[in-house]
Amino acid sequence: MTTHKTLLRQNAELRKIGVFNWSIPAHVVTLTNGERFNTCPNAGACGRVCYAKFGTYQFPTVKQSHLANLEFLLNEPDTWQMRMTVELHAKKFRPSGKPHDLAHSEYDTWLSGWIHAGGKAVRIHDAGDFFSWDYLMRWADIAIEHEDVLFYAYTKEVGMVQDFWATEKALDALNLRFIFSFGGKQDHLIDRDSHRHADVFPDAITLQEAGYWDQADSDLIAITAPTTRIGIVQNNLPVAKKRFAGNTMSGLNQGRTQGI
């Protein structure tokens, strides 16, 4: 069992906007028993340029923490879900009463209420993805039990999420939101006009010229912005810039599938 006192963490950037984070390792990882496990089954070109494979994510203490999270989840899923549920009952996860300063569509009744109440949020995965149906359903159950908290995730599991939307449970989990993320094996299932999605761009100018909304000011913009098109400027690390080679994530992935 993990020795973490808390499962949900905050860095300085997320703390300012009332967001907590749950993280597991990105992509293929070696477990302590020597087995290999893929936390991102539908990763495509993103696997080569993933920000979670560079920088601070590679610090030994960070890698150990994320691996501990994953192994707790894999080895004791029921206990993990209970711990997560109990943790989210804490007062710090309740709305602040101070409205968020976020552009949004007033037609989204639940989200509008959450914004005006100053609700708290949980970003599911700043690394990793929904690697199984059971895992996604556990997050849906957690969201349903904490209806005043916004749960959101960038994901390449497009087909799985669409299957979830077709279930009755999805109607009870309006606070569980997804941003489809280009760079995976299921990019062809993403409709840029109807699906909220994210693409990565080489710079802010290219992002804006493509008609995307830059989420640099707040990660919550990815969920609240009144558009389906969310833009992210690529990691500034030299190795990432070299591998992107001036491409967008969707462009890089399209080149990969065409053998370029």
pLDDT digits (tens, 9 = 90+) for 234-259: 877 777 778 787 889 998 877 655 44
The H or E element that residue 73 is part of is helix 60-75
Alpha helical stretches, state H, 91-214? 109-117, 133-145, 158-165, 169-172, 204-209
pTM reported for the whole predicted model: 0.93
Of the ranges 10-24, 81-95, 199-213, which one carries the lowest mean pLDDT score?
Answer: 10-24
Contact assessment for residue 169 and residue 203, using Cβ atoms and an 8 Å cutoff = no
40-73: b or e for each residue (b if 16 or more CB lie within 10 Å)?
bbbbbbbbbbbbbbeeebeeeebeebbbbbbbbb
**Least confident among 48-62, 117-131, 178-192:** 48-62
End-to-end CA distance of the chain: 44
